[in-house]
Structure 1
Amino acid sequence: MTSKAKIPVNRAFEDATLRISIKDIIPLRDVGADVRKYVKYGQIAASIREVGIIEPLVVVRDPNIAGKFRLLDGHLRLDILIAQGASEVVCLIATEFEAFTYNRRISRIATIQEHRMILNAVERGLSEERLARALNVNVTSIRLKRNLLVGICPEVADLLRNRYVAIHAFAELRKLKPMYQIRAAEMMIAMNRFSLGYVKSIVIAAPSDQLVDGKRPPVRGLSNGQIDIMTDETARLDREFKVIEQSYGADHLDLVLALTYVTGLLDNAMVVRHLAQFHADLLQEFQKIAEVQKAA
């Protein structure tokens, strides 16, 4: 049996972090005065002031100046540390310089993930007041996020666990019975809409027997008759959507095959000449289809 040759894998970072003097770190861009006014900047500053640096800066050794480092990730953190009078910071040392910033690989934290992080922090003994200071928000906001899933069925929490949902949307979902909560979450995912306004519209259009208290919330400018029409229309659209959803896979496959076939036809010069001579209108439409295929 012949052994397979091992492919060497380059390390992205050096083995150990390094405490570096801030004056030896060279930023790749400046942090403007307008950026310092952002809420996110204030939250990071409050977090560093309260609990210190959690995520190390990422730097790479400067190839031209010994002992100097170029900053790849952490420009806001470095700016805040300088403003707070720090002289050193712990850094991860990247092995290669990349033209892009590492922040482009970071996804916005999902609402339910943030809720669970806050719960874990509270369980470890961190007070709500200190959490509020660290995140630069008021205590009410921390309590709202801590109690985010109260009244929300587990299936909905699972469906929305990786989505950035408007925090007050969960208060609207609590007005629905568990089975309709699940239906609402599925509608949100299908439409890729997680705003408070959209969830409110689902609640307004929900049948009365699917509401926890059995009563629709009052809606300014809409009569009960108009709301009933919205409910019937929502139910109809939901039924149509489920029918489309059942055949989506097969329809999508047929469409891909058709697009591939048309694109292949246009690669044949004889076919193109024949269409141009006798079916110019069809050729024009086929070319539009081929352009869509290439763009995709």
Structure 2
Amino acid sequence: MNNKMPPPGFESETRVIPLDAIVPLKAMRAALKQSHKYAQIAASIHEIGMVECPVVVPNPQKEGTYYLLDGLLRIEIAKELGWTEVECLVATDDEAYTYNKRISRLSAVQEHKMVVRAIEQGAHEDRLARALRLDVSTVRRRFRMLDGICDEVVELLADGPCPKNVFEVLKKMKPMRQIEATELMIGQKNYSSGFVKTILAATPDDQLVLKRAKDGPQDISREQIARLERELSAAQKRTKYIEESYGEDVLELTIAKAYLSKWLKRPSIVQWLEDNQPEYLAEFQEVAEMTSLASSVTSPPGS
């Protein structure tokens, strides 16, 4: 039996590397600099510094230079801030780790827990707000987001793509109804606030935290129940469409993604595309960096 340990994928110590010695393997799309994500990362780096080191690999063709494997936005922001060097994690093999495939986006519940932990450990709300590029009132709302939500629902939605405003609607229901509503959202794969509001409208008074005012409009419940029925019908149509086309679409996309990923690992090809066909390079990189094939399959018309 061979007990030999595989070689480490990274050097044990980080290196401080001049920014002009780091060569990106992909072009920065102009629209990306105008995105909320870019502004949020820039605010975080400006406020608390570089938390996560960019990842590079030595350029075997030119000593003292490095190819950038992960952290293009961080490197661009560092340049804008006037930095001349940055601390980097150095990979020993440029194919040892496919970074974007390992990224796990934070759910609303996970983000709430991070905010709570930071405040409990002494972080000030105003500094958190600056680092996250949010209003202080928004940070406070995120801190209190799960107040009134039962533990079972928190567990069910811990990793789900559930918008934060959905929790405000769930708070109006008693625990058992919260669980029922959550299971319905998960079953239909519909986490929209409109969907959960229609569930709220169809909830009997005895399952609400506060009963509806008797002198309020009497036709709201019927109207919103009708909306719920329409959304359920649309969800069923989308499910049927996906069942019919999903397998073939994903197979074709998987083959294309694997093919492009293989060729884009070759710096010479990336450099040629950047010099001669930059628009194709951007599209190829977008396909190669997909983290979820399911979300990339063509949706039915009008969905």
Q: Specify if TM > 0.5.
A: yes
| Deviations 1:164-184, CA, capped at 9 Å, x for gaps | 211111010000001111111
Which residue in 2 is equivalent to 1:114? 111
- Per the alignment, residue 148 of structure 2 pairs with 151
Q: Is the 8 A contact 1:57 1:92 kept in 2?
A: yes
Match of 1:34 among 20, 27, 31: 31
Q: Out of 62, 69, 76, which is 2:73 matched to?
A: 76
Match of 1:194, SS state, is coil
- Cα separation, partners in 2 of 1:153 and 1:5, compared to 1, 3 Å: same
CA RMSD of aligned residues (A): 2.9
1:154 to partner: Cα distance: 1.1
Q: Which runs of 4+ in 1 moved over 2 A?
A: 98-101, 216-231
CA pair 79-223 structure 1, distance change in 2 beyond 3 A: closer
Letter in 2 for 1:80: I
1:202 pairs with 2:189: no
Map of 1:225-240 to 2, 5 A cutoff? 225=222
Normalization by structure 1: what TM-score? Answer: 0.72
The equivalent position to 1:165 in structure 2, one of 162, 167, 170, is 162
- 1: CA distance, partners of 2:31 / 2:227: 44
Change over 3 Å in CA distance of 1:223–1:75 after alignment to 2? closer
Equivalent position SS for 1:118: helix
Go from structure 1 to structure 2 and tell me whether the alpha carbon gap of 1:220 and 1:51 turns closer, same or farther (over 3 Å shift): farther
What are the within-5 Å matches in structure 2 for residues 51-62 of structure 1? 51-62=48-59
Unaligned runs of 5+ in 1: 238-296
CA displacement at 1:124 relative to structure 2:
1.4
Q: Secondary structure at the match of 2:30?
A: coil
Aligned counterpart, 1:251: none
Instruction: Answer 1 or 2: higher relative contact order, Cα 8 Å, separation at least 6.
Output: 2
Task: Report the residue type matching 1:107 in the other structure.
Answer: S
State the Cα deviation string for residues 2-44 of structure 1 (Å, max 9, x = none): xx22144132111111111111111112223321110000000
How far apart, CA to CA, are the structure 2 residues paired with 1:75 and 1:188? 36
- Residues 46-94 of structure 1, C-alpha deviation per residue, up to 9 Å, x if partnerless? 0000000111100001010111110000000000000000111111111
Which of 1 and 2 has greater Rg? 1
| Identity within the alignment, % | 41
What residue identity is the alignment partner of 1:125?
A: G
Instruction: Report the counterpart of residue 101 of structure 2 in structure 1.
Output: 104
5 Å matches for 1:5-16?
Answer: 5-16=2-13
Query: For residue 139 of structure 2, what is the amino acid of its counterpart?
Result: I
Paired with 1:69 and 1:167, the residues of 2 have a C-alpha distance of 40
Q: Which among 134, 137, 158 is matched to residue 137 of structure 1?
A: 134
Aligned equivalent of 2:14, options 13, 17, 21: 17
* Residues 18, 86 of structure 2: 8 Å contact kept: yes
1:114-136 deviations in Å (ceiling 9; x for gaps): 00100111111111111111011
Distance in 2 (alpha carbons) for counterparts of 1:33 and 1:229:
44
